[in-house]
């Protein structure tokens, strides 16, 4: 029996769940309970798989005796329960129009469409399925079902095979990958792939592009690259293969020191560093937490700066960045002067204890620190003498000395 009840009718819930009187449930199974057609079909489909043999037997007979015209109207509606569509999808004895309604209804479960593609004897409907390329991309099992079905038409087979070759077998180009991603509802990833230049002369492949796309979460409408001024153009484009290899070694070394090294992360790092600077900047702005964790360590300051400008970056990530000694002074300065992040005491605390934070920024934000942390900072040998002395002055002032 289906565990999900779509109807909002309390009578339907009572009948299906068994809280209604037995006579009412029997009347529903026989199709004589006065319920709206959509609701009655949902009850009948639920009963057809019931452990109650009496209810199941009556329900199956009622489902087979439905008026074809009324049934077609219900199966085309947006309110029909997916379980009803799935039930009739497997009943090959019903008219062509019934199955056409099922195939074209967006509420039909994917598993039911795959099963229909495998078992239907109606070649024209298999052809109808094959015309919906977006659906075939979303549900590859339909392709295999059509190809394996002996009742397929020549046209259905041709379209299914073309889609399979185009999207699942041959090496895919950037636009093909973008089309696939957009068909799957991954708009942000599709935008990134379409606008990426990829490192010219590198061994960056379509498979690499598809992998990177899985780590894109920010759509164009949420990004802001106004900070990327014209004076940075040289840093965007001038980078040699040797520079890129050196960056991989640097980032890998830092991740190893932090105890974060995993084979999956190494694979991701190698793929990311095949990208040119411009594409890494865009990945920094649009990428997920995994991508940000790698790119914040990039030796190119524009890439690391893009990470801090990512609209999805969290306070917890910024706290971690504020304590990292591998990031550039520019990044630590940007965090220190940010109204958003400088309100976080944990971020400020990490910044002042980081010897890479510019002294002027550290001394400015130290005024927000608590007395006990100022005392500890005045004794911290990992920070500069100037920071320790200023911490001592502030702590003495707080104590009234």
pLDDT in single tens digits along all 401 residues of the chain: 445 899 999 999 999 999 999 999 999 999 999 999 999 999 999 999 999 999 999 999 999 899 899 999 999 999 999 999 999 998 888 889 999 999 999 999 999 999 999 999 999 999 999 999 889 988 999 999 999 999 999 999 999 998 887 777 644 567 778 888 888 889 999 999 888 876 544 567 777 888 898 999 999 999 888 777 655 655 666 677 788 888 888 888 887 776 666 677 788 888 898 888 889 999 999 999 999 999 999 988 889 999 999 999 999 999 999 999 888 899 999 999 998 898 899 999 999 999 999 999 999 999 889 999 999 999 999 999 999 999 999 999 888 76
Residue 264 within a domain: yes
Token pair 């020549």 is found at 154
Q: What's the per-residue H, E or C state across 20-43?
A: CCHHHHHHHHCCCCCCCHHHHHHH
Residue 148 pLDDT: 95
Residue 187 within a domain: yes
Is the separation of the CB atoms in 297 and 251 below 8 Å? yes
Residue 2 pLDDT: 45
Q: Which residues have CB under 8 Å from 41's CB, separation 6+?
A: 63, 66, 71, 74, 80, 81, 84
Regarding whether 278 and 196 lie in a shared domain, the answer is: yes
Residue 251 pLDDT: 86
Regarding whether 300 and 153 lie in a shared domain, the answer is: no
Residue 372 pLDDT: 92
Q: Which residues span the domain enclosing 286? A: 171-311
pTM over 0.75: no
Residue 104 within a domain: yes
Regarding whether 276 and 178 lie in a shared domain, the answer is: yes
Residue 200 pLDDT: 46
Residue 181 CB-half CA count within 13 A:
26
Regarding whether 353 and 279 lie in a shared domain, the answer is: no
**End residue of a domain, out of 139, 169, 199:** 169
Q: How many domains does the chain have?
A: 3
> What is the Cα gyration radius of the chain?
31
Regarding whether 201 and 136 lie in a shared domain, the answer is: no
Residue 346 pLDDT: 94
Residue 318 within a domain: yes
| Sequence-ordered alpha helix ranges (H) in 77-232 | 82-89, 96-104, 110-119, 123-131, 133-138, 140-148, 154-164, 174-183, 187-195, 206-213
Residue 345 within a domain: yes
**End residue of a domain, out of 272, 293, 311:** 311
Residue 216, SS3 per DSSP: strand
Residue 232 pLDDT: 62
Token pair 């009324």 is found at 70
Distance of CA 358 to the CA centre of its chain: 37
Residue 201 pLDDT: 44
Regarding whether 279 and 183 lie in a shared domain, the answer is: yes
**End residue of a domain, out of 251, 285, 311:** 311
Regarding whether 34 and 91 lie in a shared domain, the answer is: yes
Residue 3 within a domain: no
Regarding whether 132 and 45 lie in a shared domain, the answer is: yes
Token pair 């958003």 is found at 340
Regarding whether 148 and 214 lie in a shared domain, the answer is: no
Regarding whether 251 and 162 lie in a shared domain, the answer is: no
Dihedral angle over CA of 87, 88, 89, 90, nearest 10? 70
| Sequence-ordered alpha helix ranges (H) in 196-240 | 206-213, 233-237
Residue 389 within a domain: yes
Regarding whether 395 and 252 lie in a shared domain, the answer is: no
Regarding whether 186 and 130 lie in a shared domain, the answer is: no
Residue 2 within a domain: no
């Amino acid at each position: 029996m289906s565990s999900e009840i779509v109807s909002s009718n309390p009578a339907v819930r009572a009948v299906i769940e068994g809280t209604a009187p037995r006579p009412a449930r029997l009347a529903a199974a026989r199709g004589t309970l006065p319920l709206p057609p959509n609701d009655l079909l949902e009850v009948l489909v639920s009963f057809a798989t019931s452990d109650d043999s009496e209810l199941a037997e009556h329900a199956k007979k009622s489902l087979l005796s439905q008026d074809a015209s009324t049934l077609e109207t219900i199966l085309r509606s947006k309110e029909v329960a997916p379980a009803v569509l799935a039930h009739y999808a497997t009943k090959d004895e019903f008219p062509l129009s019934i199955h056409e309604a099922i195939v074209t209804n967006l509420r039909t479960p994917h598993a039911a469409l795959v099963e229909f593609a495998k078992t239907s004897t109606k070649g024209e409907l298999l052809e109808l399925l094959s015309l919906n390329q977006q659906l075939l991309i979303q549900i590859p099992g339909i392709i295999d079902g059509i190809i394996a079905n002996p009742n397929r038409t020549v046209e259905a087979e041709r379209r299914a095979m073309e889609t399979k070759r185009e999207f699942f077998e041959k090496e895919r180009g950037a636009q093909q990958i973008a089309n696939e991603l957009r068909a799957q509802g991954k708009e942000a990833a599709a935008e990134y792939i379409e606008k990426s230049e990829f490192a010219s002369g590198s061994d960056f492949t379509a498979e690499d592009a598809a992998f990177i796309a899985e780590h894109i979460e920010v759509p164009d409408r949420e990004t802001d690259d106004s900070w990327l001024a014209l004076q940075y153009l040289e840093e965007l484009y001038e980078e040699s293969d040797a520079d890129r290899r050196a960056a991989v070694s640097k980032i890998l070394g830092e991740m190893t020191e932090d105890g974060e090294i995993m084979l999956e992360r190494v694979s991701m790092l190698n793929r990311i560093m095949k990208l040119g600077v411009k594409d890494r900047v865009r990945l920094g702005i649009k990428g997920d937490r995994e991508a940000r964790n790698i790119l914040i360590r990039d030796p190119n300051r524009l890439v690391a700066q893009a990470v801090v400008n990512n609209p999805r970056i969290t306070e917890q990530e910024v706290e971690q960045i504020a304590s990292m000694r591998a990031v550039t002074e520019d990044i630590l300065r940007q965090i220190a002067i940010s109204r958003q992040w400088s309100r976080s005491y944990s971020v400020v605390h990490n910044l002042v204890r980081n010897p890479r934070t510019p002294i002027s920024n550290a001394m400015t934000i130290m005024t927000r620190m608590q007395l006990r942390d100022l005392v500890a900072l005045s004794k911290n040998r990992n920070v500069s003498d100037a920071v320790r002395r200023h911490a001592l002055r502030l702590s003495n002032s707080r104590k009234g000395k």
